[in-house]
Structure 1
Amino acid sequence: MSVALPSTAAADGHRAMSLAALLATYMQAVNISLPNAALPHIQGTLSMANDEVGWVFSSYIAASAVSMSVTSWLAGRYGRKSVYQFSLAVFALGLVLDTLATSSVQFALARIVQGAASGPLAPLSLAILLEVQPPARHARLSLAWTVCSLLGISSGASIGGWFSEYFGWRSIFYVSLPVTAFIFLAMAFWLREKRAERRQPFDFFGLATFSFGMIGLQVLLDRSERLEWFESREIWIEAVVSVLGFYLFVVHVMTRKEHFLRTALFRDRNLVLSIVISFAVGLVLLPTLALTSPMLEELLNYPVDTTGYMTIPRGVGLVGGVLLMSLVPAQIDYRPFLIGGMALVVYANWLMLGYSPAMDWRAVAEAGFLQGAGLGIVIPALAKAAFGTLDPKLRPEGGALINLSRLYGSTIGIAVVQIFFYGNTQAMHVALAKDLTPYRTAAHVAGSIAKPGLAALNGMVTHQAAVVAIIGQFEILMFAMLVVSPLVLFLRKPRPAS
């Protein structure tokens, strides 16, 4: 019996779609951290306050998480190709709006547009990859998809730092436009439309209440330091929106059998524990970048492009850890690797507590590499933990839930470290300034030092306070990983593969 071989045109189309899908996965991930090293240039142009820096990341991630939740329903209702093409078009619009922004609010809104469009790209790209390639290649394609996603997050700072230093910060968004155009054309030419045969209902009320809860909490954390917490009416409104959203969501889940997060997912102990640990991984993954770049640029006076280069070892460790885990046979217990990876992350954050103005690049490279390697081991080990006992029918939703947990961990983590950073900076400034005179009051300094000298002295104190405060935030990230580490002991062994 003869076997029909695919035509050359079909094979070329499959290769082009596979390349476009991997590029889309990388592009949506790299745009999370792309502005990281370029923040000094962006802040200077847009007059962005220090406490608004977190918006650059949280606006993109939060919008992406919301749109990712509804991707499956959209693809089934309107067609996978239509949703994919529309997302790419809106993503390109977001890139253009980023470059046209003239204020921090406009830039945050542009990032929301860009992030909302990025949400469907990664899950649909994986679905396309698994459809156009034979099953024998699915394991390698899933690995390539994971590597592209993590490589995008870890390489964004170095790419953005280089482009912003030599071509201006707006170039970091222009460079994604031709890539978006290529993906759009490749999918327009070769991808076939696909809709669900039967339209599935979607729990919009559940998604809306959960999203209101998370967004209200996010905005509250982002704005609270500037507005003196609950001294502001705005903070009270955001707190009420968040609490009400979460309350309605919990009531909705408890009183309905079907909702966008199926109850069966939470009956699996390994999945629930993996979600909690994944949240802690998110607390470390992006907040570390959000802390390291400002520390290197503003406190240690490294150039923007050099700051970007110093994040490369972390990316190498991250991708290396993922590739290493791909070589581990499926029948070997994943839990020792999970414990080892978490120990590496904790040790790396402990090394970060030794950062000082007198250090050179080696300390940052070493700690970053070890942390990246630990995260690269933990992320695939968590997937094995969750899927090892989960019903195969629930794995797509379980994987999406783990990704959402990591995304929300990152966006909440960025807001939390920003709050503690500015609060600790003020506290350390007071602690250092009160010891500048024999009388232990900073007010007496004005009588003996001229105004220029007083300003220089205050600048030195502020600088030292900021260094101490930012190093203290690495301690918070270290304890976040330490707190969830004992949960590994409660994970069950995976079921034998059938």
Structure 2
Amino acid sequence: MENRLSSPASASSAAPAAPAAPPPPLEGAQLALATFAVALATFMNVLDTSIANVAIPTISGDLGVSVDEGTWVITVFAAANAVAIPLTGWLTQRIGQVKLFVGAILMFVLSSWMCGVAPNLPFLLASRVLQGAVAGPLIPLSQAILLGSYPKEKSSVALSLWAMTATVGPIAGPALGGWITDSYSWSWIFYINIPVGIFAAFTTWAIYRKRESPTKQPPIDVVGLGLLIAWVASLQIMLDKGKDLDWFSSPFIVGLGITALICFAFFLVWELTEEHPIVDLRLFSQRNFMGGTIAISVAYGVFFGNLVLLPQWMQEYLNYRSVDAGLVTAPLGVFAVILAPVMGRVLPRSDARIIATLAFIGFAIVFWMRSNYVIEIDTWHLVLPTLLQGIPMALFFVPLTAIILAGQPPHKVPAAAGLSNFVRVFCGAVGTSIASNEWNNRTILHHARLTEQATATNPVFAQQMSSTQSLLNVNDQTAHALFDFTVNTQAAMMGLNDIFYISAIIFLVIIPLIWITRPGKGGGGDASGAH
């Protein structure tokens, strides 16, 4: 209460001194163990963003609810996570990096256990809200802690190791989730976090407890926090449920959209004029932060939207099991893992903008390859572009993250990492929604075009139906059903090819965003400044 009632004059007179020098880098086995523990916590977090997706039908059946109700398990986690991520910088100031990181891991373990034992849907949803909220600081803090653990000249190695775990998690999630659900119980997709989280938390605390960042007690921006929760949660739920509710034909979706728009407008004005904002939007005044954040976010939105569509198409139209569809997408992590250490060595001696540009060109080539898919495609031709996509993935996260964090003082890194990760994750949700909606629209369009001549008055079509009945010994109704199934499959394939082709173009179009940042090795300027 004292802090809230203190006058501006007294607050300014008590302004904190210049930040203390950061602790020296870790070395040897201690550095290796610390890196493993922090990376493990990151992997656990990003894995949970996708591992539950394939288990929704099973969860819904066990809890006695519809699949539509079950999808709230994904929606509430994403909404809570999206709200919490940009709060990382503010929470770090009040609690400290290490305490916040370890506390978030332990709360994630607790909420995972609660999810596993959930007896009904309301309890599970409440647990997922808690899990999503406490997961928010984990990714940005893992970046900040790893950067502080390595010498300045090896900051790109730290980012490479972080990127390796951050990219493999979402890829492994569907395959691992499907296998666990089929072989054991859906509860185990949450229980596996318990031993992993406990190890990561205790190891991190043992190594970092004496390396805590300085703290201060800035006033709580209650208005900014309320507006942030309102617009982010409204928009996230709108994006997740829009397709199921037929978008703006639903009053619920319209209400969410209006709420998000109004609250976002007020949020921008408030945070840019507030002395102690809950989210430091002034970071966007920095050229590197703005260019790097927009580039990585748009690219991630396109990438993640396609990552969701591909296994969905394989399951719906190619009759792949969820586990098999996950295994087809799994090779994406092969080159991402192999090339991550290489990036750590190459980046300090290179212009990060050139590497990121090559990554975007690589993504464009991969999506162009996919735009030539056909219904009769074999597994190898599905796997090949996915395998090759691991190369631009390895060239993608590290240079752009280095650009974003370049020149940030240590006490600003959590805020910068938190805000950039929030925009990236948010664009991932937007990209998924747009990709799903456009695939549906393009499928409808191609279906209409393919059936323009499929009328009883067309002698060619009538002859085809007659041939089908004779060849397969089926009646007229069955022949028409087979034709409709073939058209639906072909239309969906053509619609997906359109999405892939447009995605390739987008990656080429956004390349100039990279080049508005300042030149320099390892991320445009002194990349180690983020250390």
Amino acid at match of 2:195: P
Q: CA deviation at 1:317?
A: 2.7
Report the more deviating stretch, 421-430 or 10-19.
10-19
Write the distance in 1 (CA, Å) between the matches of 2:187 and 2:166.
Answer: 23
Alignment of 1:333-348 (within 5 A): 333-348=351-366
Q: Residues 18 and 374 from structure 1, CA distance in 2 versus in 1: closer, same or farther, beyond 3 angstroms?
A: closer
Write the distance in 2 (CA, Å) between the matches of 1:178 and 1:327.
Answer: 33
Q: Residues 431 and 279 from structure 1, CA distance in 2 versus in 1: closer, same or farther, beyond 3 angstroms?
A: same
- Native 8 Å contact 1:48 1:103 kept in 2: no
From 118, 132, 137, the equivalent of 2:135 is 118
Report the more deviating stretch, 151-160 or 241-250.
151-160
Q: CA deviation at 1:290?
A: 1.0
Q: CA deviation at 1:74?
A: 3.0
Partner of 1:314: 332
Amino acid at match of 2:262: L
From 514, 519, 528, the equivalent of 1:493 is 519
Partner of 1:252: 270
1:156 aligns with 2:173: yes
- Native 8 Å contact 2:57 2:70 kept in 1: no
Q: Residues 236 and 133 from structure 1, CA distance in 2 versus in 1: closer, same or farther, beyond 3 angstroms?
A: closer
From 398, 402, 407, the equivalent of 2:416 is 398
Q: CA deviation at 1:28?
A: 0.6
1:477 aligns with 2:477: no
Report the 3-state secondary structure (helix = DSSP H, G, I; strand = E; otherwise coil) of the residue aligned with 1:328. helix
Partner of 2:247: 229
Report the more deviating stretch, 101-110 or 274-283.
101-110
Amino acid at match of 1:343: I
Amino acid at match of 1:291: L
Instruction: Kindly provide the CA deviation profile for residues 395-428 of structure 1, in whole angstroms up to 9, marking residues without a partner as x.
Output: 4433332222211111111122222233334444
Q: CA deviation at 1:456?
A: 4.6
Partner of 1:463: 489
Partner of 1:4: none
Write the distance in 2 (CA, Å) between the matches of 1:496 and 1:130.
Answer: 16
Write the distance in 2 (CA, Å) between the matches of 1:352 and 1:180.
Answer: 37
Instruction: Kindly provide the CA deviation profile for residues 439-480 of structure 1, in whole angstroms up to 9, marking residues without a partner as x.
Output: 47xxx99xx955555555444443333333333333343343
Instruction: Kindly provide the CA deviation profile for residues 169-220 of structure 1, in whole angstroms up to 9, marking residues without a partner as x.
Output: 4433332222223334445666638574531234343343244223322322
Q: Residues 77 and 268 from structure 1, CA distance in 2 versus in 1: closer, same or farther, beyond 3 angstroms?
A: closer
Q: Residues 132 and 399 from structure 1, CA distance in 2 versus in 1: closer, same or farther, beyond 3 angstroms?
A: closer
Amino acid at match of 1:92: V
Partner of 2:11: none
- Native 8 Å contact 2:334 2:390 kept in 1: yes
When the two chains are superposed, the root-mean-square deviation of aligned CA atoms in Å is 3.8
1:359 aligns with 2:385: no
1:324 aligns with 2:369: no
Partner of 1:35: 52
From 269, 287, 300, the equivalent of 1:269 is 287
From 309, 313, 321, the equivalent of 1:303 is 321
Write the distance in 2 (CA, Å) between the matches of 1:119 and 1:105.
Answer: 22
Q: Residues 132 and 273 from structure 1, CA distance in 2 versus in 1: closer, same or farther, beyond 3 angstroms?
A: closer
Report the more deviating stretch, 282-291 or 99-108.
99-108
From 75, 82, 91, the equivalent of 1:74 is 91
Instruction: Kindly provide the CA deviation profile for residues 303-342 of structure 1, in whole angstroms up to 9, marking residues without a partner as x.
Output: 3332222222211233344333222152432222222110
- Native 8 Å contact 2:80 2:233 kept in 1: no
Write the distance in 2 (CA, Å) between the matches of 1:418 and 1:492.
Answer: 35
Report the 3-state secondary structure (helix = DSSP H, G, I; strand = E; otherwise coil) of the residue aligned with 2:331. helix
- Native 8 Å contact 1:23 1:183 kept in 2: yes
Amino acid at match of 1:485: I
Instruction: Kindly provide the CA deviation profile for residues 318-371 of structure 1, in whole angstroms up to 9, marking residues without a partner as x.
Output: 334433322215243222222211011011111111222211122222211232
Q: Residues 302 and 227 from structure 1, CA distance in 2 versus in 1: closer, same or farther, beyond 3 angstroms?
A: closer
Amino acid at match of 2:183: Y
Partner of 1:26: 43
- Native 8 Å contact 1:388 1:493 kept in 2: no
Write the distance in 1 (CA, Å) between the matches of 2:314 and 2:216.
Answer: 54
Amino acid at match of 2:240: D
Q: Residues 257 and 88 from structure 1, CA distance in 2 versus in 1: closer, same or farther, beyond 3 angstroms?
A: closer
Alignment of 1:57-72 (within 5 A): 59-72=76-89
Q: Residues 38 and 309 from structure 1, CA distance in 2 versus in 1: closer, same or farther, beyond 3 angstroms?
A: farther
Q: Residues 198 and 381 from structure 1, CA distance in 2 versus in 1: closer, same or farther, beyond 3 angstroms?
A: closer
Unaligned segments of structure 2, at least 5 residues: 1-26, 466-473
Amino acid at match of 1:346: A
Partner of 1:174: 191
From 258, 276, 287, the equivalent of 2:305 is 287
* Amino-acid identity (%): 26
Q: Residues 423 and 78 from structure 1, CA distance in 2 versus in 1: closer, same or farther, beyond 3 angstroms?
A: same
Q: Residues 322 and 295 from structure 1, CA distance in 2 versus in 1: closer, same or farther, beyond 3 angstroms?
A: same
Q: Residues 56 and 361 from structure 1, CA distance in 2 versus in 1: closer, same or farther, beyond 3 angstroms?
A: farther
Q: CA deviation at 1:283?
A: 0.8
Write the distance in 2 (CA, Å) between the matches of 1:45 and 1:460.
Answer: 34
Write the distance in 2 (CA, Å) between the matches of 1:396 and 1:344.
Answer: 30
Q: CA deviation at 1:40?
A: 6.4
1:192 aligns with 2:218: no
- Native 8 Å contact 1:101 1:107 kept in 2: yes
Report the more deviating stretch, 339-348 or 427-436.
427-436
Q: Residues 59 and 434 from structure 1, CA distance in 2 versus in 1: closer, same or farther, beyond 3 angstroms?
A: farther
Q: Residues 335 and 128 from structure 1, CA distance in 2 versus in 1: closer, same or farther, beyond 3 angstroms?
A: closer
Alignment of 1:411-450 (within 5 A): 411-439=429-457
Amino acid at match of 2:512: P
Report the 3-state secondary structure (helix = DSSP H, G, I; strand = E; otherwise coil) of the residue aligned with 1:490. coil
Amino acid at match of 1:26: F
Report the more deviating stretch, 12-21 or 382-391.
12-21
TM-score, normalised via structure 1 length = 0.82
